[in-house]
């Protein structure tokens, strides 16, 4: 299993297109917090990816804002913000991670592995942000920009969907138009550290199957859930 993971990490590094001078940074970016659970932070021998995830979130936001400003010089702040949100949210990061085949390269606890951690969108999305931070720390902003341009190429090609600016209002209007009560949102899970939490929120509309989605904040997760339900029901 160790050899299989080592091969997966090497293959991932090739797909990223960045030759790490410090290979421990990539390994750390792929190490889930579950590996050290139950051990005091000060005595842990293996460092997880939560701090890298925190940094990677900011690096990604900068790179997306930079790219959108260059690609859409006439767009107003509202349109740029909506597009930025679509490119940096957990769902986008998870899709990028799946395309890069991050799952097999992850270092997880036995328990997290048994519960399907290698395929969990939240786990993959967090690792993608951590990987971007690792590249930034290893090679600087230019190296991170190169990985971003390659890894997010498909996301950048995908047009922004209508209704993303205020998806909760769009869902509310749709529900009322169907003669249903207002949508209800509930946090069903909160994982990660205090500085880099992941919220899983379920949105329910009477007469419609509930849908769950994830985000870095409750508000982001609620928006993602609203978008998911609107897409599933064919509204957008």
d(CA 181, CA 176): 7
Would you place residue 163 in the very low, low, confident or very high pLDDT band (cuts 50, 70, 90)? very low
Place of tokens 């994982």: 191
The pTM for the full model equals 0.74
pLDDT reported for residue 202: 97
Q: Is residue 195 part of a domain?
A: yes
Q: Is residue 27 part of a domain?
A: yes
The residue-averaged pLDDT of 200-228 equals 92
For residue 124, pLDDT over 80 is answered with yes
More confident residue, 87 or 86: 87
Would you place residue 8 in the very low, low, confident or very high pLDDT band (cuts 50, 70, 90)? very high
pLDDT reported for residue 121: 87
Q: Are residues 20 and 131 in the same domain?
A: yes
pLDDT, tens digit, for every residue of 49-76?
Answer: 999 999 999 999 999 999 999 999 998 8
Q: Is residue 189 part of a domain?
A: yes
pLDDT, tens digit, for every residue of 131-150?
Answer: 999 999 999 999 999 999 99
Query: Which of 38-42, 101-105, 131-135, 189-193 is predicted least confidently?
Result: 38-42
CB 92 within 8 A of CB 156: no
The β-bridge relationship of strands 197-205 and 208-215 is antiparallel
The residue-averaged pLDDT of 217-233 equals 90
Q: Are residues 84 and 198 in the same domain?
A: no
Q: Are residues 147 and 78 in the same domain?
A: yes
Q: Are residues 187 and 109 in the same domain?
A: no
Q: Are residues 24 and 101 in the same domain?
A: yes
Active site residue 129: yes
Q: Is residue 139 part of a domain?
A: yes
Give the domain-ending residue among 157, 190, 210.
157
- DSSP states along 52-110: HHHHHHHHHHHHHHHHHHHH-TT--HHHHHHHHHHHHSHHHHHHHHHHHT-GGG-B--H
Q: Is residue 218 part of a domain?
A: yes
Give the domain-ending residue among 139, 157, 175.
157
Q: Which of 129, 138, 220, 222 is catalytic?
A: 129
pLDDT reported for residue 164: 54
pLDDT reported for residue 82: 77
pLDDT reported for residue 41: 52
Would you place residue 97 in the very low, low, confident or very high pLDDT band (cuts 50, 70, 90)? very high
Q: Are residues 181 and 150 in the same domain?
A: no
The number of folded domains in the chain is: 2
Q: Is residue 134 part of a domain?
A: yes
Q: Are residues 59 and 27 in the same domain?
A: yes
Q: Are residues 214 and 147 in the same domain?
A: no
The residue-averaged pLDDT of 22-34 equals 95
CB 230 within 8 A of CB 167: yes
The residue-averaged pLDDT of 215-233 equals 90
Q: Are residues 131 and 203 in the same domain?
A: no
* Owning domain of residue 110: 2-157
Q: Are residues 18 and 112 in the same domain?
A: yes
Q: Are residues 105 and 52 in the same domain?
A: yes
Q: Is residue 151 part of a domain?
A: yes
Q: Which residues of 23-51 are buried (b: 16+ CB within 10 A; e: fewer)?
A: eebbbbbbbbbbbbeeeeeeeeeeebbbe
pLDDT reported for residue 67: 96
Q: Are residues 76 and 124 in the same domain?
A: yes
d(CA 38, CA 103): 23
Q: Which of 50, 57, 89, 155 is catalytic?
A: 57
Q: Is residue 162 part of a domain?
A: no
CATH number at residue 207: 3.30.160.20
Give the domain-ending residue among 90, 124, 157.
157
């Amino acid at each position: 299993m160790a050899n299989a993971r080592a091969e997966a990490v090497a293959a991932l590094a090739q797909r990223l297109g960045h030759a790490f001078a410090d290979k421990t940074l990539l390994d750390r970016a792929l190490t889930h917090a579950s590996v050290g659970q139950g051990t005091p932070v000060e005595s842990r021998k293996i460092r997880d990816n939560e701090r890298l995830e925190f940094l990677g979130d900011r690096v990604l936001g900068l790179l997306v804002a930079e790219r959108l400003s260059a690609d859409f010089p006439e767009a107003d702040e509202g349109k740029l913000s909506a597009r930025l949100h679509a490119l940096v949210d957990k769902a986008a990061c998870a899709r990028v991670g799946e395309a890069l085949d991050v799952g097999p390269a992850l270092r997880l606890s036995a328990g997290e592995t048994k519960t399907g951690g290698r395929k969990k969108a939240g786990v993959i999305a967090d690792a993608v942000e951590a990987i971007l931070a690792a590249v930034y720390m290893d090679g600087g902003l230019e190296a991170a920009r190169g990985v971003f341009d390659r890894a997010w190429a498909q996301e950048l090609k995908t047009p922004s969907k209508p209704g993303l600016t205020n998806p909760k209002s769009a869902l509310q209007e749709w529900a009322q138009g169907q003669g249903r009560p207002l949508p209800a949102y509930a946090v069903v899970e909160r994982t990660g550290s205090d500085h880099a939490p992941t919220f899983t929120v379920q949105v329910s509309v009477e007469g419609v199957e509930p849908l769950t989605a994830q985000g870095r904040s409750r508000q982001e997760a609620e928006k993602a859930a609203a978008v998911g339900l609107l897409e599933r029901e064919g509204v957008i």
